[in-house]
Amino acid sequence: MTDVMGMRIDAPARQAQSTQPMRATIVRAAQLARDAEEKAVKRQHAKGKYTARERLDLLFDSDTFEEIGRFNGGDINDGKAGSAVITGFGTVYGRKVAVYAQDFSVRGGTLGTAEGRKICHLMDMAMDLKIPVVALIDSGGARIQEGVAALTQYGHIFRKTCAASGFIPQISIILGPCAGGAVYCPALTDLIIMTRENSDMFVTGPDVVKAATGETISMDELGGGYVHNAKSGVAHYLGEDEADAIDYARTVLAYLPSNSDEQAPVYAFASGRAEQEAAKRLATIMPDNDRQPYDVLDVIRCIVDYGEFVQVHELFARSAVVGFACVDGRPVGIVANQPNVNAGILDVDASEKVARFVRLCDAFNLPVITLVDTPGYKPGADQEHAGIIRRGAKVIYAYANAQVPMITVILRKAFGGAYIVMGSKAIGADVNVAWPSSQIAVLGATGAVNIIHRKDLQKAKEAGRDVDALRAELAAEYERTTVNANLSLEMGQIDAMIDPEQTRDVIERSLKLLSTKRRHRPTTKHHGNQPL
């Protein structure tokens, strides 16, 4: 037998070459890696948490994770397996995704120079490859021993995150502490996912709060998963546990394209009897009394494929509903008012919730389906003082600048400024339809009558007439002549009046019609000055 150079190899030589010789340092490195994971298992499992590598197994399709820089930041000769962050790539539903996972078992997951450089290198690669980045956060923050050098790395990560924003999807999963300046890494990403237990985010911890204000508060009450999902709106999903949180991230990635230059994946779907039955149910959801609430989720589930709707910000600003779904196999973003909560009114929180989601959809080419049933912006001194003008304007900015296909269905009420901002044709929607129950006007009938016929009502009162009966009569007349979709139809602001059963079919056909719509750049400006 001869080798590739034509030289003869005898049997003993062949046997000697059958196994590649292993250098002692390689054997040592492999043992360090095994020891490090055993140490991580003991430390993390005792706290009811997975190790960083176990989390990666949950995130990626089986046997697809490829690590980069395994021993970067370590010292094999000194027995240090690596840095406090794992970086690499894998696939989620067959599509490539980049990840960095902080390892709390290594120096408390703290970030120093080595960790910062690994994360920045990963993000550079993700942008070059045009793929999403998922961050698994479990860290004690900046490494105090490295001082300003550690803080500098946060600055580099912030800059990279901002550069990637709107170009590739970025998802942060908080699976442990995230404190101080470190909180702004996830804050700059598209979605933040937290868990009920062990997940905390705050700029200043309980000890600092007590020293500064005298207030005693627990970590969970200050910045736990529920607090940031239901009160602050910082987080977008509350996982029951780590597996649920990571599964939610996988699900969201299935609706998004890998980058802003691509369209979202299209899935095989065959409409059948289930969709026909769901369409019929739409006719039974709307109450006869226009003041009676109903659950808009029932409407959404009758419209989307398999009734599957993935909510975003489910526990925050619940008078509005946003989330991902598919219609005829095409991923879309759904925005809806929720009549079950404060009549579906737009307040400061609901405005920001809607605006941020519309911007997310516009960045990643997801059509926006808007279901409208709102009496308007919430009145009151508390709202004015909380900045309803500034924060409510964010909805306008989001819709007016969106260039994805936009389809709007008015289900019932669409009053005042809220009618305009919630995906009206005037603000840029492509297709606008209304149900027969729709009421479109500057004000509701009673409110309008109280203003328009103020003097008439006063005269009736002075004359001893039944003021309530007169008000009801005038309100009925106003509803007949003004509070309906006829004027909007005549002006071209509504394209058609449809029966509820037709809603899914109209949306399907509109999506096909608009499937070739693409972005354009109308001016040479760098960017607008959005109200913040």
Show which residues are catalytic.
180-181, 417-418
Q: Which helix (H) or strand (E) holds 470?
A: helix 467-481
CB 181 within 8 Å of CB 153? no
DSSP assigned state of 370: E
Nearest to 137 by CA among 245, 250, 256: 245
CB 65 within 8 Å of CB 87? no
Spatial distance between the Cα atoms of 427 and 420, rounded to a whole number of angstroms: 7
Q: Other C-beta atoms within 10 Å of 260: how many?
A: 16
Extended strands (E) in 103-233: 133-137, 170-174, 177-179, 191-195, 200-202
Report which residue type is found at 179: A
Nearest to 498 by CA among 393, 151, 508: 508
Q: Other C-beta atoms within 10 Å of 186: how many?
A: 24
Phi, psi for 72 (deg, rounded to 5): -65, 125
DSSP, residue by residue, 287-305: -SSTTS---HHHHHHHHSG
CB 186 within 8 Å of CB 201? yes
Nearest to 333 by CA among 303, 362, 374: 362
Identify the three-state secondary structure at position 151: helix
Phi, psi for 59 (deg, rounded to 5): -75, -45
Strand duo 320-327 + 310-312: pairing? antiparallel
